[in-house]
């Protein structure tokens, strides 16, 4: 029996649990929506030992450990009592049986609306026992299956019934005066019905991914007294650094595998494990890249390369306050925008995430996908995020014709990109051939601040160097003396040159040669036909020049044109003419 409306509050509780306990004690809310990292382990510090529990068990045995009853419900298991000991479990079951009959009978009911009706009746009966003031906590796991996000016009009768029951629990003045607590657990807020999420009587509690210290504590605990060097080739402190972005459940799998197989965790294995876990965690919406190259592999673009190298050095020195929030790489197709971003990440020594198509045809799922990705990024830092075709991926403020999805996606990106707490931790790379189509809000200072235009190699020396670098990238051994004469007027892009190198490799294999020779390269070069979209490429080049934030990034010929008294105005008129022709 509870004499006052309060939860257990221990000093070792995670911050989200402390916030929840304080809000409940203050009467701010008794209906909590727990979201974020809800499927992870939670640390429990007992008198004699430390353990880790899943979220529902932590809530039931710690926060609600002194409540008269704690009932957990999900669609698979049905309603069931949760307790820390068999004796308490038996006591709660007998307590529930006094009011609504055996819990086992209730578990046979599969209809969620019926279950919620019975639980509502149980709460009402508790209210009638005024002299006893009985306390109860209900934990609804996978709550998004009970009240999924949907538009009002598509709300079924069953969903409306479930929603009305939960809203009544949240705002009922009688329930608010009683020692009741309701926890709705869902990984993504966007999966829950908006009427519940946005209701003034509910409080959203985000459970974050584990930070470095939490991961380290778990790694040392899970070693179970074993010498850590017997389990991993790097110290626990280094492993905690390398596992940024992983949950404690992921670490549990990693450590258990090492203990059971008696094989030490190797860095190579860790990289593949982390890649699989993060891509799975983001449901295949990102590609995890461990850059194999650095800026030494970049040919040309001297000023841009210098700027990126300086910023990479600042990040390694820990001077995150002096680096930009992000970069915009623009220029015609095939100029190596993605390659340059990956080389930058390789120079810093940080992982890369490339956003794939996170959009969905289902209401609210696009925003939910992006919400999940952003949560992973916040704990992975420092991390480079590459968004290719950014003008199509990021949405815009207007967002017409898609029920506002584009506008909401734009808002999510703009908010995260402008959050200076993540300066130097999340480094954005927006890649596009048409920077003019990007919303100006995302290109402003404080978001993607440095705009770097990239162009085709325009000197024989630079073209030769690109051939050699593309050979290294494609693992094709090309000797400098085997390169034929190449005319700059061909306007070959990096992608074109990579294609020629691959064709030359094919010709050498067909001829039975051991390596690529001059005749193979010459034959591939003679047979190559560049793409014919000259107006579109010229439009992309002009847009890149106009978007440039530092004149040093421009080749000398373009720099003179751009910095002349009427240069920008002339380029703008040229761009408008090309735009009318192409678009």
Domain spanning 288-453: which CATH class is it, in words?
A: alpha beta
Taking the alpha carbons of 154, 156, 160, 162 in that order, is the dihedral positive or negative? negative
Nearest to 546 by CA among 517, 578, 523, 522: 578
pLDDT at 1: 40
Q: Evaluate whether 288-453 and 457-583 have a shared fold.
A: no
pLDDT mean values, one per 10 residues, the chain (583 residues)? 62 94 90 96 92 96 92 89 92 90 79 91 87 88 91 77 94 91 94 92 95 95 94 94 92 95 89 86 83 86 91 88 92 89 88 83 75 86 88 72 74 89 91 91 89 88 88 88 83 86 93 90 88 81 92 86 84 90 80
Residue 382: is the preceding peptide bond cis (ω within 30°)?
yes
Beta-strand pair 41-45/50-54:
antiparallel
Domain ranges of the chain: 15-207, 212-281, 288-453, 457-583
pLDDT at 355: 87
Question: Do the Cβ atoms of 369 and 378 come closer than 8 Å?
Answer: no
Domain spanning 15-207: which CATH class is it, in words?
A: alpha beta
Structure tokens at 436: 């003019």
pLDDT at 289: 83
As a whole number of angstroms, the distance between CA 550 and CA 450 comes to 8
Name residue, tokens 């203990």.
Answer: 259
As a whole number of angstroms, the distance between CA 519 and CA 507 comes to 9
User: For the purposes of burial, counting CB atoms within 10 Å of the CB of 151, is it exposed (0-12), middle (13-18) or buried (19 or more)?
Assistant: exposed
Nearest to 394 by CA among 378, 376, 377, 406: 406
CA triple 415-416-419, angle to 5 deg: 85
C-alpha distances out from residue 263 to 229, 247, 273, Å? 11, 22, 15
Which residues make Cβ contacts (< 8 Å) with residue 154, sequence separation at least 6?
none
CB-hemisphere CA count at 13 Å for 359?
14
As a whole number of angstroms, the distance between CA 345 and CA 293 comes to 9
pLDDT at 217: 96
Beta-strand pair 31-36/180-185:
parallel
Q: How many Å is the Cα radius of gyration of the chain?
A: 30
As a whole number of angstroms, the distance between CA 362 and CA 206 comes to 24
Structure tokens at 532: 């014919």
As a whole number of angstroms, the distance between CA 305 and CA 320 comes to 19
Nearest to 247 by CA among 59, 141, 371, 380: 380
Residues in the chain: 583
pLDDT at 3: 45
Question: Do the Cβ atoms of 427 and 384 come closer than 8 Å?
Answer: yes
Q: Is 20 helix (H, G, I), strand (E, B) or coil?
A: helix
Under CATH, which number does the domain 457-583 receive?
Answer: 1.10.8.60
Cβ count within 10 A of residue 435? 24
pLDDT at 410: 83
Q: Is 102 helix (H, G, I), strand (E, B) or coil?
A: coil
User: For the purposes of burial, counting CB atoms within 10 Å of the CB of 176, is it exposed (0-12), middle (13-18) or buried (19 or more)?
Assistant: middle
pTM reported for the whole predicted model:
0.78
As a whole number of angstroms, the distance between CA 231 and CA 359 comes to 41
Q: Is 500 helix (H, G, I), strand (E, B) or coil?
A: helix
């Amino acid at each position: 029996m509870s004499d006052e409306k309060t939860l257990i509050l221990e000093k070792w509780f995670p911050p989200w649990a402390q916030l929840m306990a304080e809000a409940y004690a203050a009467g701010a809310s008794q209906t909590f929506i727990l979201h974020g990292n809800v499927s992870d382990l939670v640390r429990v510090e007992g008198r004699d030992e430390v353990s880790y529990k899943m979220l529902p068990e932590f809530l039931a045995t710690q926060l609600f450990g002194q409540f008269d009853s704690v009932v957990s419900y999900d669609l698979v298991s049905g309603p069931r009592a949760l307790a820390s000991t068999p004796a308490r479990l038996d006591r709660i079951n007998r307590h529930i049986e006094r009011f609504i009959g055996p819990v086992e009978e209730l578990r046979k009911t599969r209809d969620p609306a019926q279950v919620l009706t019975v639980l509502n009746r149980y709460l009402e009966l508790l209210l009638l026992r005024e002299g006893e003031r009985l306390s109860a906590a209900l934990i609804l796991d996978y709550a998004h299956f009970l009240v999924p996000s949907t538009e009002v016009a598509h709300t079924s009768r069953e969903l409306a019934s479930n929603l009305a029951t939960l809203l009544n629990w949240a705002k009922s003045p009688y329930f608010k005066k009683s020692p009741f607590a309701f926890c709705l657990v869902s990984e993504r807020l966007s999966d829950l019905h908006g009427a519940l999420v946005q209701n003034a009587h509910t409080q959203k509690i985000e459970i974050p991914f584990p930070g470095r210290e939490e991961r380290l504590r778990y790694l040392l605990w899970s070693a179970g007294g074993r010498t850590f060097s017997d389990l991993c080739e790097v110290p626990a402190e280094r492993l905690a650094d390398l596992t940024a972005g992983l949950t404690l459940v992921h670490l549990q799998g990693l450590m258990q595998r090492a203990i059971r197989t008696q094989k030490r965790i190797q860095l190579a294995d860790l990289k593949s494990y982390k890649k699989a876990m993060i891509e799975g965690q983001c449901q295949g919406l990102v590609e995890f890249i461990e850059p194999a190259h650095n800026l030494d592999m970049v040919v040309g673009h001297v000023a841009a390369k210098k700027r990126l190298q300086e910023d990479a050095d600042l990040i390694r020195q820990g001077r995150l306050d002096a680096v930009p929030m992000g970069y915009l790489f623009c220029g015609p197709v095939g100029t190596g925008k993605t390659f340059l971003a990956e080389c930058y990440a390789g120079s810093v020594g940080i992982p890369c995430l490339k956003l794939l198509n996170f959009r969905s045809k289902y209401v609210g799922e696009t925003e939910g996908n992006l919400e999940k990705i952003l949560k992973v990024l916040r704990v992975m830092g420092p991390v480079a995020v590459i968004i290719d075709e950014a003008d199509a991926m990021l949405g815009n403020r207007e967002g017409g014709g898609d029920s506002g999805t584009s506008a909401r996606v734009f808002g999510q990106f703009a908010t995260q990109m402008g959050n200076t707490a993540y300066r130097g931790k999340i480094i954005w790379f927006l890649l596009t051939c048409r920077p003019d189509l990007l919303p100006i809000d995302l290109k402003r200072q404080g978001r993607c601040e440095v705009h770097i235009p990239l162009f085709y190699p325009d000197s024989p020396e630079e073209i030769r160097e690109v051939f050699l670098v593309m050979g290294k990238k494609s693992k094709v051994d090309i000797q400098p003396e085997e390169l034929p004469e190449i005319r700059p007027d061909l306007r070959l892009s990096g992608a074109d040159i990579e294609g020629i190198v691959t064709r030359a490799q094919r010709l050498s294999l067909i001829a039975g040669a051991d390596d690529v020779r001059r005749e193979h390269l010459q034959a591939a070069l003679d047979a190559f036909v560049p793409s014919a979209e000259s107006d579109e490429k010229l439009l992309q080049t002009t847009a890149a020049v106009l978007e440039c934030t530092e004149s040093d990034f421009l080749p000398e010929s373009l720099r003179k044109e751009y910095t002349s008294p009427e240069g920008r105005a002339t380029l703008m008129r040229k761009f408008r003419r090309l735009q009318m022709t192409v678009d």
